[in-house]
Structure 1
Amino acid sequence: MKNILLMGAGKIGEMIAIMLAESGSYHVTVADRDQAALDRMPKHPNIATKMVDALNQEQMDAAAAGKYAVLMACGHVMTHVIAPAAKKAGAHYLDLTEDVKSTRLVKDLAKDSETAFIPQCGLAPGFITIAAYELVKKFDELKDVHLRVGALPEFPSNALKYNLTWSTDGMINEFCQPCEAIVRGELREVPPLEELEHITIDGLEYEAMNTSGGLGTLCETLKGKVQNLNYRTIRYPGHRDILKTLLHDLRLNERQDLLREIFEHSLPTTMQDVIVIFASVSGMKDGRFVQESYSHKVYAREIGGKMHTGIQITTAAGICAMLDLLAEGKLPQKGFVRQEDTSYHDFIANRFGSAYARSHEVATPVVAAAE
């Protein structure tokens, strides 16, 4: 049984702890500086809790010592202390960040590391990168690669048509930071919330707009190989215009603490969400100009006797599957590991990655005990 340090006792951390503990392959120490959050962790023989202030180097080093891997399920602002502590302890490092600067820091740490550093292991970036790259590999020559993901309330009931289902800080960050893209063959930064498009998936109309971080490392991987590459977040129609009013007209992009307070006071959370995943690739294959797409939806459901949201399930399944594949030797064992280094088929066949399996794909339980 491998010993894991999980930094962050929030909703995603809880889901990660449950999945890993119930697999029978991992003992998880969940660390946080919030005792109330730790008290909410499920009671399980393979889950322990520990009060740790990551900003206290002595506490952080002690928590990471002797661990097979350190998983980060807290805000990207903590990357600069947690990732170096993992390296110092000789542990593998995995995180869920969508923040571009944080990933660059992780990449620098990985250059001379004897362990693996695997950032962006969630949904977007994360699984969407793996799914899109599986399509990319089928083409002889690429023209357009489009990635689209939305974590949406199944039953929207306000003007924003949105409920809080994941990190408020993460949501604000992706709508305020510049977005990487490849436009007509050139790597560029494009503004968030722009290039609004309307798309229809399974007969339902959505809108999608630029947001930061969803491409992961694909810009670097596909530079010089694709004409256009972009990532956009899916929302219900009308959401983008209200966000622009809040962020730009009312200038709340300059007062993000206030914006977070408004969202968390005004927008209810929901357990009834749907994760919409869509990727489209066009280019030349066998002398013909063709397009192939990937589409899937994941809904909230019960796991371990408790209801969990779709965003909890998909995000936790991503990082748990990457940890499992690393432990099985199916990923590089040291240095910087990109999401696109992962085999889509290995991921879907994995006991955690199977949370993403579509009906025509062979699916195993999300959590299966070790033999």
Structure 2
Amino acid sequence: MKILVIGSGRMGLGAAFDLAHSSNVETVTVADLDVERARAVAAAVKSDKVKPAQIDVADDRAVVELMRGHDAAISCVTYFHNVRLARAAVEARVNFCDLGGNNSVVAEELALDEAARAAGMNIIPDCGLAPGMVSVLVAHGARRFDHLEAIHIRVGGLPLEPRPPLNYQIVFSVEGLINEYVERARVIRDGKIVEVDSMTEIERLSFAAPFDEMEAF
């Protein structure tokens, strides 16, 4: 397979590294507006499979043309570009996924379902940490039970060695991180999707040092 990774930040680096070490992946193109950053990712992965490229995600025609040389494209840029990239993927007839980060954006992507089916490709939004990896792990674990009453999911992104003053480390885009605190959260209750205000319904969780007691919301 030939895979296109759009964005050369930390998520793009992680995606490129994993893909480059997958036996069924032939080439990985890492594309960014700043081609030097794309080159830096290619150099960091240390694989002949990884090739840098320059792309402006605002240039729809250029994005479509670049996508057409690949079997799938992964958006590792900030969430507000994802609808535009998903539409480009439909036109290019290339499978597409992204890291999510905003419910309204995901809704617009899901609205492309009919067009995606007609193009013979797939759009899979929200493939980041949560939703995304956590959803896959929960589904995998749930299948191991004969009877399951409830699943409680808690997700955090804290450094192993927290340092003052915030005891935090940026690993996601700042825009996406802030959005998690201001956008209403979607939850499933009694089999129905409902929205609640973020940073509400606070609960306390206990962990080993250095985290000890922490808040979840």
TM-score range relative to shorter protein: 0.7 to 0.9
CA distance 1:184–1:119, shift in 2 (3 Å): closer
What's 1:264 paired with?
A: none
Counterpart code for 1:42: A
2:26 is the alignment partner of 1:23: no
Pick aligned residue for 1:155 from 161, 168, 171: 161
Counterpart code for 1:150: G
What's 1:8 paired with?
A: 7
What's 1:97 paired with?
A: 100
What's 1:179 paired with?
A: 185
Q: What SS class does the counterpart of residue 212 from structure 2 fall into?
A: strand
Q: What SS class does the counterpart of residue 29 from structure 1 fall into?
A: strand
Pick aligned residue for 2:204 from 177, 192, 198: 198
Report how far residue 130 of structure 1 moved. Answer: 2.0
Distance 2:142 2:5 in 1: 33
Distance 2:101 2:112 in 1: 17
Distance 1:9 1:115 in 2: 24
Q: What SS class does the counterpart of residue 151 from structure 1 fall into?
A: coil
CA distance 1:132–1:50, shift in 2 (3 Å): same
What's 2:214 paired with?
A: 207
Report how far residue 91 of structure 1 moved. Answer: 0.8
Mapped contact 1:31–1:50 kept (Cα < 8 A): yes
What's 1:42 paired with?
A: 42
Aligned residue pairs: how many?
208
CA distance 1:189–1:35, shift in 2 (3 Å): same
**Aligned pairs for 1:140-151 within 5 A:** 140=147, 142=149, 144-151=150-157
CA distance 1:139–1:102, shift in 2 (3 Å): farther
Pick aligned residue for 2:67 from 61, 64, 67: 64
What's 1:76 paired with?
A: 79
Counterpart code for 1:20: L
Report how far residue 141 of structure 1 moved. Answer: 6.6
Mapped contact 1:21–1:28 kept (Cα < 8 A): yes
Mapped contact 1:148–1:208 kept (Cα < 8 A): no
Report how far residue 132 of structure 1 moved. Answer: 2.4
Counterpart code for 2:198: P
CA distance 1:132–1:208, shift in 2 (3 Å): farther
Q: What SS class does the counterpart of residue 200 from structure 2 fall into?
A: coil
Q: What SS class does the counterpart of residue 28 from structure 1 fall into?
A: strand
Counterpart code for 2:39: D
Distance 1:186 1:20 in 2: 36
Report how far residue 188 of structure 1 moved. Answer: 2.4
Q: What SS class does the counterpart of residue 198 from structure 1 fall into?
A: strand
Q: What does the per-residue CA deviation read over 1:267-325, in whole Å, with 9 as the maximum and x for residues that have no partner? A: xxxxxxxxxxxxxxxxxxxxxxxxxxxxxxxxxxxxxxxxxxxxxxxxxxxxxxxxxxx
Distance 1:38 1:194 in 2: 39
Q: What does the per-residue CA deviation read over 1:28-60, in whole Å, with 9 as the maximum and x for residues that have no partner? A: 111111133123122332111111111111211
Structure with max Cα Rg: 1
**Aligned pairs for 1:1-371 within 5 A:** 2-24=1-23, 25-43=25-43, 44-112=47-115, 113=117, 114-137=120-143, 138=145, 140=147, 142=149, 144-183=150-189, 187-202=193-208, 205-210=212-217
Report how far residue 122 of structure 1 moved. Answer: 2.3
Give the number of the structure with larger relative contact order, counting CA–CA contacts within 8 Å between residues 6 or more apart. 1
| Runs of 5+ consecutive residues of structure 1 not aligned to the other structure | 211-371
Distance 1:188 1:105 in 2: 18
Q: What SS class does the counterpart of residue 83 from structure 1 fall into?
A: helix
RMSD of aligned residue pairs (Cα, Å): 2.2
Q: What SS class does the counterpart of residue 216 from structure 2 fall into?
A: strand
Distance 1:65 1:187 in 2: 36
Mapped contact 1:20–1:26 kept (Cα < 8 A): no
More strand per residue: 1 or 2?
1
CA distance 1:15–1:187, shift in 2 (3 Å): closer
